C-alpha cells in the first residue's frame, strides 16, 4: 500500500503542499511528498537551490515551491511545432532565426539545439528522428553528416572495385 502511495505522489509533487515561509531539510521534503530522499537529492542536482552550505542542508520553502512549479510548468506547456523549451525563460520559445542543429545520440534519437530567440540561452529538445517532421514547424534543421548516410551508404555498391575507394 505504501509503495502505491509513493508512486502516485512522486509523479507530481504538489507545490501547494509547501509552506513558503519555512525551511525544509531533505528528509522533511521527502516526508512531505512521500518520496525517496534520493529524489530530493536529484532535484538539488538539477537546480533546486539550497539556503546555504551548512549541514543539514536546508531548502527555502519559497524556492522549493518555485522549483516544483517550474517542473510542472515544464510538462504543462508542451512545445508546439517549431518551438523548444527554454529553461531560462521557463517557457517554450522559438529558436533564434529558426535555426537549429540536430545532434544524433543514436540512430533513432537526438537533440535539437538552438538559441532562445528571447534570451539567447541554449535550448535543447530531445526528439526521435521519426518525429522531426511533426515538430519541425518553421525550424531549419541542420543535420551533421547524417544525410550522407541516408543517401549514399544504404546500398553499398558491391559491384564497384573495392580498391577503387582510395
Applying CB under 5 A, the residues found at the interface with Zn ion are: 86, 88-89, 116, 118-119, 121
Count other Cβ atoms within 10 Å, centred on residue 140: 12
Q: How far is the CB of 94 from Zn ion (least distance, A)?
A: 10
The Cα–Cα gap between 140 and 119 comes to: 19
Cell of 112: 535539437
> In the complex, what is the shortest distance from the CB of residue 95 to Zn ion, in angstroms, rounded to a whole number?
10
Q: Which of 60, 68, 140 is nearest to 102 (CA)?
A: 140
Residue 10 or 118: which CB sits closer to Zn ion? 118
Q: Which is nearer to Zn ion, 26 or 84 (by Cβ)?
A: 84
User: Least Å distance between CB 121 and Zn ion?
Assistant: 5
Question: In the bound complex, what is the minimum distance in angstroms from residue 13's beta carbon to Zn ion?
Answer: 25
Report residue 123 as a C-alpha cell: 535550448
Euclidean distance between the first and the last CA atom of the chain, given in angstroms as a whole number: 67
Q: Are 111 and 124 in contact (CB under 8 A)?
A: yes
In the block, residue with C-alpha cell 535550448 = 123
Give CA 9 to chain center in angstroms.
21
CB of 86 to Zn ion, least distance (A): 3
- Of 10 and 87, which CB lies nearer to Zn ion in the complex structure? 87
Amino acid at each position: 500500500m505504501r509503495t502505491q502511495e509513493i508512486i502516485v505522489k512522486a509523479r507530481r509533487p504538489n507545490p501547494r503542499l509547501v509552506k513558503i515561509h519555512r525551511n525544509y531539510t531533505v528528509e522533511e521534503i521527502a516526508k512531505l511528498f512521500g518520496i525517496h530522499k534520493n529524489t530530493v537529492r536529484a532535484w538539488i542536482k538539477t537546480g533546486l537551490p539550497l539556503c546555504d552550505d551548512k549541514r543539514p542542508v536546508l531548502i527555502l520553502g519559497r524556492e522549493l515551491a518555485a522549483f516544483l512549479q517550474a517542473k510542472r510548468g515544464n510538462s504543462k506547456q508542451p512545445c508546439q511545432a517549431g518551438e523548444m523549451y527554454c529553461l531560462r525563460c521557463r517557457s517554450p520559445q522559438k529558436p533564434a532565426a529558426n535555426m537549429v542543429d540536430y545532434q544524433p545520440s543514436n540512430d533513432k534519437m537526438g537533440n535539437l539545439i538552438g538559441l532562445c530567440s528571447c534570451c539567447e540561452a541554449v535550448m535543447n529538445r530531445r526528439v526521435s528522428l521519426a518525429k522531426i517532421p511533426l515538430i519541425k514547424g518553421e525550424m531549419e534543421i541542420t543535420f551533421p553528416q547524417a544525410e550522407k548516410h541516408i543517401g549514399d551508404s544504404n546500398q553499398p555498391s558491391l559491384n564497384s572495385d573495392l580498391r577503387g575507394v582510395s
